[in-house]
Amino acid sequence: MGKTIAEKIFEAHIVDRPVPETAVINLDAVFCHEITTPAAILDLKARGKKGVFDPSKIKAVIDHVTPAKDSKTATQGLILRNWAKEEGIKDFFDIGRNGVCHAIFPEKGFARPGYTIIMGDSHTCTHGAFGAFAAGVGTTDLEVGILKGVCSFQLPGTIKINITGKPASGVYSKDIILSIIKMLGVNGATDRVIEFTGEVVDAMTMEERMTLCNMAIEAGGTSGICYPDRITAEYLWDFIKDDYESVDEAVEDFRKWISDSDAEYVREISFDVSELEPVATFGYKPDQVKTIRELEGTEINQVYIGSCTNGRIEDLREAAKVLRGKKIADSVRGIVSPATPDIFKAALKEGIIDVFMEAGFCVTNPTCGACLGMSNGVLAEGEVCASTTNRNFNGRMGKGGMVHLMSPASAAAASLTGVITNSPLYTGRE
Amino acid sequence: MKKFDGKAIFLDRNDINTDEIIPAKYLTEVTKAALKPYLLEDLKLEGFSTEQLADRNAVITKENFGCGSSREHAPWALEVNDINIVIAASFARIFRQNMYNCGMLAVELPEENIDELFRTFGGSGCSVKTDLENQKIKFISGNTELEYEFNISGFNKDLVKAGGWVEYADTRY
């Protein structure tokens, strides 16, 4: 019997099988940020444990609240900063060089095909876009990961989603994943890996694949995962060129991770995107999804473009196409947060930042802040935000606020009219 | 090992998420104790108020409890309120693992058992008595008693008995 990509990665990393359904695996990377890591650091210190399993495999960033907004967040940054120094963690990204974790770590080449990755952050599933098994974990899993380089997982079965057809112009990876979450439900993939395959995924850029995998957790999934291919190899080339003679050779090597044709799945779904329209969430669960057409006219107070879901250069480009030469509605506050310094610099160079500023957007530094209502764009009671983020829970962006998740183009369109509306980039089905 | 007995609170909804259990704005705290006043602060549920948590030691709820964020602050906020056990029809993966990793108990019961519990005790409340060794759990109010067997993997049971994943892993890996 053949194996899925997740099964192959598990098999290559297994350390222990305490019971048949659970595997303890070794880790290729442990990612850390300043919200969930300090408690692990303090607990390790309280237990008198110094040292980390491998400082070169630990990557750390201050991203959730940056610059620090108060003494408490400054202290969280301080704990992470001092610890990184004490433990010799060279890949530590402090203010000025920091970006949203799931955008900056891939950009630096830290996610690779076949890797096992954990982080104290549920959207760690993003890195599955590189053909890795990447899972969000709690602080205790993170603590053991830091100390021992291992983590336990109940062996996850895989749901394979074969994405076919041709999306209409103005329909994005975000529309596809929101529509898939609607189909699966918020717990439809609990204890499962979601394998995204098919012609649509094959044609996607790494940025689009990251958007897809980013929201696997919103269906309860342990990790999203895409097959590594030429697009993966080209994205990573600067970081892997010492390991391979050519991109071709890398692509050939990556093939070892691709699921076998006779692999066994918990569920196989064919998902045709040809008829898909731009969509957005309503309500407080990410599986509550309607077409933008159905939600048309819903008034909004704020537009937020950024985050680990949709704060990458391609996202800013699509939003800028909608905004170019236009002004946002008087009733709307527009906020854009390029997800990393490199994305910010590229956007500056391409004139995209100008477009946002001319339209009336506030441009912030890279940070997670607004997405989870911590800083840089918190909503007031009763306010509504059109957002390119990944979670619309009650109170998520501020107590009593409502969040409609959508693509950057749809969010930009909403900023111009003050209501949810289809972007001019969506021209309907051909 | 922690205690898994005491008076239960019933939360009659699916998909209660980690932001409702402990809102993100409190994640700037680095001690567990500081989370105590904020448990379930953002939960909107008819008949529920956070004052009811004062004398409770268990939560009984429905599907997909703890979905969303990976924040271990969710089990910690329960723990500092003396709630070490959650009984539900199902859990989100990360929350469930965080519970075992903290030496706390996530008990999954079939939907019909959960429905029976809500039908029988939802109005009046009940006490919980847990026998982890034999994987049995009893719900008692006055003369009414319901008992169920529950599944927990040998591994997760060992985590709970050890006091958590750090304690378990420390001696083995």
At A259 the pLDDT is 98
**Average pLDDT of the segment spanning A108-118:** 98
**Average pLDDT of the segment spanning A59-68:** 98
B64: contact with A, CB 8 A cutoff: yes
Cβ-defined contact of B93 to A24 (cutoff 8 Å): no
A354 vs A351: CA distance, rounded Å: 5
B111: contact with A, CB 8 A cutoff: no
What does the pLDDT look like over A242-271, one tens digit per residue?
999 999 999 999 999 999 999 999 999 999
Angle A71-86/A37-46 helices, nearest 10 degrees?
A: 60
Residue type, A109: G
Tell me what the pLDDT averaged over chain A comes to: 97
Q: Which residues of B touch A186 (CB under 8 A)?
A: 15, 64, 67
Nearest to A150 among B30, B156, B173 (CB): B173
pTM value is: 0.97
What does the pLDDT look like over A282-339, one tens digit per residue?
999 999 999 999 999 999 999 999 999 999 999 999 999 999 999 999 999 999 999 9
What is the token pair recorded at B134?
A: 């034999």
Share of chain B above pLDDT 70, in %: 100
What is the token pair recorded at A28?
A: 């290729």
Share of chain A above pLDDT 70, in %: 100
Report H helices in B22-164: 73-79, 93-101, 111-121, 154-162
Sequence-separated (6 or more) residues with CB below 8 Å from residue B26 = B34, B35, B38, B73
Is the backbone peptide bond immediately before A67 cis, with ω within 30 degrees of 0?
Answer: yes
Cβ-defined contact of B70 to A36 (cutoff 8 Å): yes
Q: For residue A428, is pLDDT > 90?
A: no
At A429 the pLDDT is 62
Q: Facing residues of A164 across strands? A: A272
At B152 the three-state DSSP class reads coil
Confidence of residue B120 (pLDDT cuts 50, 70, 90): very high
What does the pLDDT look like over B2-54, one tens digit per residue?
999 999 999 999 999 999 999 999 999 878 999 999 999 999 999 999 999 99
A59 vs A44: CA distance, rounded Å: 18
What does the pLDDT look like over B26-35, one tens digit per residue?
999 878 999 9
Q: Provide the number of CB pairs (under 8 Å) joining chain A to chain B.
A: 139
A45: contact with B, CB 8 A cutoff: no
DSSP state of A2: B
Nearest chain A Cα distance for residue B141, angstroms = 32
Nearest chain B Cα distance for residue A110, angstroms = 21
For B142-171, b/e burial (b = at least 16 CB within 10 A) is: eeeeeebebebeebbbbbbebebbbbbbee
Question: ipTM score here?
Answer: 0.97
Q: Which residues of A touch B172 (CB under 8 A)?
A: 16
Share of chain A above pLDDT 90, in %: 99
At A325 the pLDDT is 98
> Longest C-alpha distance within chain A, in Å?
65
Q: Which residues of B touch A139 (CB under 8 A)?
A: 72, 98
Nearest to B166 among A137, A144, A394 (CB): A144
Yes or no: say if A68 and A36 are a contact pair by the CB < 8 Å rule.
no
Nearest chain A Cα distance for residue B32, angstroms = 9
Cβ-defined contact of A220 to B165 (cutoff 8 Å): no
B153: contact with A, CB 8 A cutoff: yes
